[in-house]
Amino acid sequence: MKIIEYEAKYANNVKELLEELQEYIISIDPYHFNFLKEDYKDKIYVKDMNEVKNNNGKIYLAQEENQIVGLIIGVIRKPMIEFDYERLNNMGEVIELIVSKKIRSKGIGRELLNKMEKYFKSQNCCTINIDVFGYNDIGEKFYLKNGYHIRMITVSKKIKNF
């Protein structure tokens, strides 16, 4: 297995992994708020590519036997001193991390995270933030095991059925 930088020729692989991640999130959401529209993977791909382009981001892919089996997308948030007194330095943000369910638990997620952390360090980021869906216990345990800490918690209450 090797970690490579994204190239446009891998666009379809990235889209498939992004869709797989959303399918997982949908499957663990007890509120059932989300659903997968037919054009989801194309729209999220464009959104993420714009985030990368506009925020000095990077995309790394995990490749095993010429198959793309994982990805991480990270962007750099610049200081916003006039609005955000807490953040005076660059902050790395992982906006997507997925390892295909076919090949999980082999350390690929950790390798992708290490690669992105090195990139963020090279860009003088002082912290890395990652949002984890509240019902994603597997994701939360993974990040805690890798030295991350819970800093913010969003609470939610369902008040209407759809």
Under 8 Å between Cβ of 73 and 52:
yes
Q: Would residue 58 count as lying in a domain?
A: yes
Cβ count near 111 (within 10 Å): 18
pLDDT value at position 161? 73
Overall number of domains in the chain: 1
pLDDT value at position 83? 57
Under 8 Å between Cβ of 56 and 75:
yes
Give me the CATH number covering residue 16. Answer: 3.40.630.30
Pairing between β-strand 125-130 and β-strand 58-64 as defined by DSSP bridges? unpaired
Q: Which residue has the higher pLDDT, 155 or 67?
A: 67
CA angle 146, 139, 15 (to 5 degrees): 115
Q: Which residue has the higher pLDDT, 5 or 157?
A: 5
Residue 162: pLDDT band by 50, 70, 90 thresholds? low
Model pTM score: 0.88
Q: Would residue 105 count as lying in a domain?
A: yes
Q: Would residue 154 count as lying in a domain?
A: no
Q: Which residue has the higher pLDDT, 72 or 132?
A: 72
pLDDT digits (tens, 9 = 90+) for 6-48: 999 999 999 999 999 999 999 999 888 878 888 999 999 999 9
pLDDT digits (tens, 9 = 90+) for 72-125: 999 999 876 655 555 567 899 999 999 998 888 889 999 999 999 999 999 999
DSSP classification of residue 149? -
The residue count of the chain comes to 162
Q: Would residue 18 count as lying in a domain?
A: yes
Q: Would residue 159 count as lying in a domain?
A: no
Of 46, 25, 8, the closest CA to residue 139 belongs to: 25
Domain that residue 107 falls in: 2-145
Report the range of poorest mean pLDDT among 37-41, 46-50, 142-146, 157-161: 157-161
Cα separation, 109 vs 115, in Å, equals 10
Q: Which residue has the higher pLDDT, 59 or 152?
A: 59
Q: Would residue 151 count as lying in a domain?
A: no
